[in-house]
Every structure is written in C-alpha cells, then in structure tokens.
A and B are shown apart, each in its own frame.
Chain A
Amino acid sequence: MNDYLLYPGCSMETSARAYYDSLKAISKPIGLNLNEIEDWNCCGATEYLGISLTPAYALIARNLALAANASNGKQDLVAPCSACYLNLAKADHYMREQPKLGKMVNEALAAGGLSYKPGSLEVRHLLDVIVYDIGLETIEKNVVRPLTGLRVAPYLGCMVPRPDYENRWSDHEYPIELDVLLKALGADVIDYPLKTECCGGHMTQIGPETAFELIRRLIATADEHEADTMVTVCPMCQLNLDAYQGETNHFFGTNYHMPILFFTQLMGLAFGIEPKDLGFGLELVSARNVLDSLGVKAPPETPPAPPKRPRKQEGLPRPKPLSKGPKVDELEKEVAQ
C-alpha cells in the first residue's frame, strides 16, 4: 500500500471533476492510498504571486504546514494539478534557498499557529508517483482492456516538467513519463512534438487571441498526427483545450473535434472501469468516439502482430538517442518488451 497526502486543488471539485472521479476510481486497483489534507486552501495559482511575495508564499505554505503535520515525515505530498504542484514545490524550494523568505513565511504562519520547516516534505506530481512509485508493472497487471489502436497524443503542459527543481523528470522539453504510461496501457502513442508547449494558461482571461492561437496550435498538431484524443495531466490545460475549443474554432473558422481527457480516465478505461465512474460525459468536446473505438477493438486473445523488419535506412545514418540516466532507461526498457 502506498500512502500519500493529497492536495486536490480548487479545480478538482469543479472544472476538473473528471480528474477527481477517475483518480478515485483507479486508486484502489493500483494500491494508491490518498489521504486528503484537512481544510486545505487555494494555492493562489499564478495570480497571488503577482500581488505580493510574502503573502503569496504564506498562502501556499499554510498547506505545506498542514501537510507536514499530517505526514510526520512518513508520507509524500501529491498534487494532481500542475499549477498547485509547481506552487507547492516552488515554495518549499525557495524557502530553503533563501532563508530570509523562509523566516518571514514562518513568522506569518506563526500568526495562525502553524509552522513549516522547508525540506520536510517531498512534493510530487501525481504522474510522477504513478510512474515511478507505483510502477509500470503494477499498471500493466491491472490492464484488462488494452487501448489497442487508440491513437493518443500525450500532452504534459509546461508546469510539470519545468522548472523541476528536484530533477524528477527525464527531460525539460521532451519527457517520456506520460508516453511510457500510455504505452503500458496498450495505446498507440504519438510522438507529439508540442508535448510541453504552453496551453495559454490564464491568457484566456487576459489576452484571448494569444490563448486561442496557442490552443489552436496544440490541437492542430495533434490532429495532423491523426490523434484520436489528447491526454493531459493538468486541469487548466484540459479546461483550455476542451472548454475553449469551441471559441477557438469560432475564432479561426476551424472545425476541430479533439476530445481532451485526463490520463487517469484512460487508465480507468484500460482497467475495465465503467466510463460513467471515470467522469466521461463531463467534457465539453465529446469523447464518445474514444469509447466507441475501444468498444470494437480486437479481443485480447488475438496474437500480437509480428515485429516489422527494420526498413533499410535511406540516406545518411542518424545519431542514436541519448540515454537520460538509469532511472529513465529502466522505464523505457519496462515498456519495450
């Protein structure tokens, strides 16, 4: 049993309910035990930091303090939302790097009867925990309905692989964690070139045209690669790409219909859980085609296709990809067989 403290974030109960529902549904089969922190508050997203420094970090640190009390050094803190994850990790990191900030924040916390020693919690993102702690083997064991033939574009967004103070991810620009997870579910993973490009964040509220262009780019590229669906790890990205897809289409005169799902939803599908328990139907751009395509997929008994003979390479030889270190090599090897 893997025990973790959960910081859900404001969107989980509302705009990203599908994320919350599917997360709850898949936790049991993979042995992920999430304990929600008591009475957590909003992390401030990207807004509070722009008003003033100490209050913004104090706001975040209240959650860290509550979590540290509950954890007692035994549990890591998991945030499924990328912005919450970044804020929590950043607060912890900067309080350590700049003692002055740590002191001021702790003084503020003391006014509420709390304190937080920087470094006493490991702040992790949900994807990190699932891929590295739970492990792909456990995931694969739970797959009863492999997502064979489903073309998926993995979209991580920007705040998960960057700035990555604790070096948890394989790369800042093209990390493979989401790819290998989806491969373990049996999906046909596209080598999506914009996997860590920004979705626009709050630009939908500030400068909509810019946001629409960023959204259009992401969806257009996925469409060009013939993706059936895009998969995200962040509520903001899902909201932007899903809820604003209509306005984007209207603005550019395009007609994209790209369902945007959370990776936990696909995990649930692969585990054989009912779509309604996974938040299907909550998305504004319907994901019915995903469900349909899975419904008619070949039954698991069909033998896998024989491996293709490598095509004789034309032209000049190409350099081999770089190893990202033993941790990542392990991941890739696990999925390769």
Chain B
Amino acid sequence: MTDVSLRAVPLVPNPVQIEDLTLLEEVASRTAGVSRLEMCIQCGTCGGSCPSAAIMDHTPRMLFAMLRAGMREEALKSNTYWMCVSCYHCVVRCPQNVHIADVMYTLKSMAIQAKLYQDSTAPDFSKTFVEMVEEFGRSFEIGLASIHYLKHFPLRLANMTPMGMGMLSKKRMSLLPKRIKNMDQLNAILKRAKELEAVQ
C-alpha cells in the first residue's frame, strides 16, 4: 500500500516573494528633484564611499538593486537608509548622477508610513525632532535628548552626565524651549503641506 501521507505532501517550491515592479518608479517619483534612480549601473561607488557601510544591512547599491527587483518589504525593512549620514560622498561620485542621498530620505518616509522598520531608534529620533519643531518652530535639544535617551539609550545617560552638565553650565543648551512668534503661520503651512502630500 502506497504511503498516502508522502504523496499528500505538496511539493512546495521555495517561497517566492511577490515582486512589486512599480516600486522603483514609486520611489523615484516621491524623491525631490530628478532622482535618476533608473540609471544606476550597479558600479558600487556609493557603497565604497559610504562611511556607515559597515553597519548597513545592505550597501546603498544593493538597496537599489532590491528596489529594481521590486522587493518592497525587504528593502523597507533594511536599516540601510536609517544609517545614512547625508555626507553626499555618493552623490558627487556617482558616475550616473543618481541623487542617492535624497532617495534615502524617501525610503525613510516610506518605511515610517508602512511601519516597516526593524530598529526604531532612528525613526523615533526623527519623529521626536519633528514633534519639537511642529510645537515650537525651533529645535529643542534638551527635550529631544531626554525623550530619546530615556527610550533608547538609558545606560548612556550616566556616561553623558559630564557632557550634559558641561553644556548646561556653559549655557550651550537651554532648559526652556524657544518659540517663534508666528507659530500659527507655520502650522497653517505645514497642515496644507501634509494635505498635499497625502493626495500624492
């Protein structure tokens, strides 16, 4: 008697990721300026120039290859663009004039919207910073630092005390936030801008 159980097991090929071939165009259209993302020849200059390459999951070049292959989830889950320091070495050296650093910003916003980041340190920092700016119109360092460190680097606080005290005593950090006068105007502008962005 044939072993039914064996035959009943379906032959499942390697799970294939669903490719989203519109991904490249989407990223390019959401980037400021003309990104030239489709012109990438995969030469690797960007990955070679990047000061953070060692801590990135994928080098910038690999990330673009993934975008081209339509690997949406994997690309957005990568930590690559969160590690970008905006030093623009890649941009000036790229032989195809791809606006790499600006594509990184786009991916950040796409990842935040899709909630696809693995490590929330960088996104949280950006979000907190933005909250400060939207509240006061100016950045508020001590507010930003305290919220951020308490959440993500509580153990560092001890080491940083001398620096923190130094900054405070020399008045290089203020305890109170500064506020711009015309906060209403700024709020109106940002509100409208967000509406416009949403219909994109």
What is the CB-to-nearest-CB distance from A320 to chain B, in angstroms, rounded to a whole number? 24
Taking CB atoms and an 8 Å cut-off, the chain A residues in 23-60 that contact chain B are 39-42, 44-59
Q: By the criterion CB–CB under 8 Å, are A108 and B189 in contact?
A: yes
Which residue of chain A has its CB nearest to the CB of B171? Answer: A17
The contact string, 1 if C-beta is below 8 Å from chain A, for chain B 19-51, is 000000000001111100000000000000001
Q: Is A54 within 8 A of B196, CB to CB?
A: yes
CB distance from A277 to the nearest CB of B (A): 16
Among B33, B85, B122, B178, which residue has the most Cβ atoms of chain A within 10 A?
B85
Q: Which residues of B contact A290 (CB under 8 A)?
A: none
Do residues A111 and B191 form an inter-chain contact, with CB atoms below 8 A? yes
A53, A107, A162, A250: the one contacting B89 at CB < 8 Å is A162
| A47-B125, A207-B52 as given contacts; A247 in contact with B33, CB under 8 Å | no
Q: How many residues of B contact A (CB 8 A)?
A: 68
B95 beta carbon closer than 8 Å to chain A: no
Given A59-B133, A163-B91, answer yes or no on A53-B109 (Cβ-Cβ < 8 Å).
yes
- Is B185 in the interface zone, CB < 8 Å from A? yes
Q: How far is it, in angstroms, between the C-alpha of A17 and the C-alpha of B141 when the chains are bound? A: 14
Residues of A contacting B69 in the complex (Cβ-Cβ under 8 angstroms): none
- What does DSSP make chain B's interface, helix, strand, loop or mixed? helix
Chain A, residue nearest B160 (CB):
A247
B139: which of A10, A50, A206 is its contact (CB, 8 Å)? A10
Interface residues of B in 84-136 (CB under 8 A from A): 85-89, 91-92, 101, 105-106, 108-109, 112, 121-123, 125-127, 129-130, 133
Cβ A41 vs Cβ B133 within 8 A: yes
Known contacts A15-B141, A40-B180, A202-B85: A62-B186 contact under CB 8 Å: yes
Chain A residues contacting B86 (CB-CB under 8 Å) are 46, 86, 158-159, 201
Give bound CA distance, A203 to B83, whole Å.
8
A319 and B166 alpha carbons, distance in the complex (Å): 49
- Interface size classification for chain A: 35 or more
How many Å lie between the Cα of A46 and that of B163 in the bound state? 23
Q: Is the CB of A98 within 8 A of B32?
A: yes
Contacts of A174 in B (CB 8 A): none
Is residue B193 within 8 Å, beta carbon to beta carbon, of the partner chain? yes
Contacts of B32 in A (CB 8 A): 53, 57, 90, 94, 98, 101
Q: Are A206 and B122 in touch, CB under 8 angstroms? A: yes
Which of B86, B109, B121, B167 has the most CB atoms of chain A within a 10 A radius of its CB? B86
A-chain residues with CB within 8 Å of residue B153 when the two chains form the complex: 208
B51, A214: Cβ atoms under 8 Å? Answer: yes
Interface check B18, CB cutoff 8 A = no
Please determine whether A210 and B88 come into contact, CB atoms closer than 8 angstroms.
no
Given known A42-B138, A47-B125, A111-B191, contact A158–B167 (CB-CB < 8 A):
no
Q: B53 → chain A, closest Cβ, in Å?
A: 10
Hey, what's the 0/1 contact readout for B161-200 against A, CB within 8 Å counting as 1? 0110011001111100010111001101111111011001
Q: Is the CB of A247 within 8 A of B159?
A: yes
> Is B7 interfacial (CB 8 A cutoff)?
no
| Chain B residues within an 8 Å CB radius of A45 | 129, 139
Report if B55 contacts A (CB, 8 A). yes
Chain A 79-116 interface mask (CB, 8 Å, partner B; 1/0): 00000001000100110011001001101111111100
CA distance A111 to B196 in the complex (A): 12
- Which chain B positions have C-beta within 8 A of A282? 170, 172
- Distance (whole angstroms) from the CB of B135 to the closest CB of chain A: 11
Nearest-neighbour CB distance to chain B for A71, whole angstroms, equals 19
Chain B residues whose CB sits within 8 angstroms of the CB of A149 once the complex forms: none
Residues of chain A within 8 A (CB-CB) of B31 are: 53
Chain B nearest CB: distance from A211 CB in Å?
9
Is A190 at the interface (CB under 8 A from chain B)? Answer: no
Listed residue (A101, A113, A206, A208) with the most chain B CB atoms within 10 angstroms of its CB: A206
When A41-B137, A101-B32 are in contact, do A62 and B189 touch as well, CB less than 8 Å? yes
Min CB–CB distance A271 → chain B (angstroms): 23
Q: Is the CB of B129 within 8 A of A47?
A: yes
Chain B positions within 8 Å of A, measured between CB atoms, are 30-34, 51-52, 54-55, 82-83, 85-89, 91-92, 101, 105-106, 108-109, 112, 121-123, 125-127, 129-130, 133, 137-139, 141, 145, 148, 153, 156, 159-160, 162-163, 166-167, 170-174, 178, 180-182, 185-186, 188-194, 196-197, 200
In the A-B complex, the 8 residue pairs with the closest CB atoms:
A50-B108, A111-B192, A108-B193, A162-B88, A158-B87, A198-B87, A58-B193, A47-B129
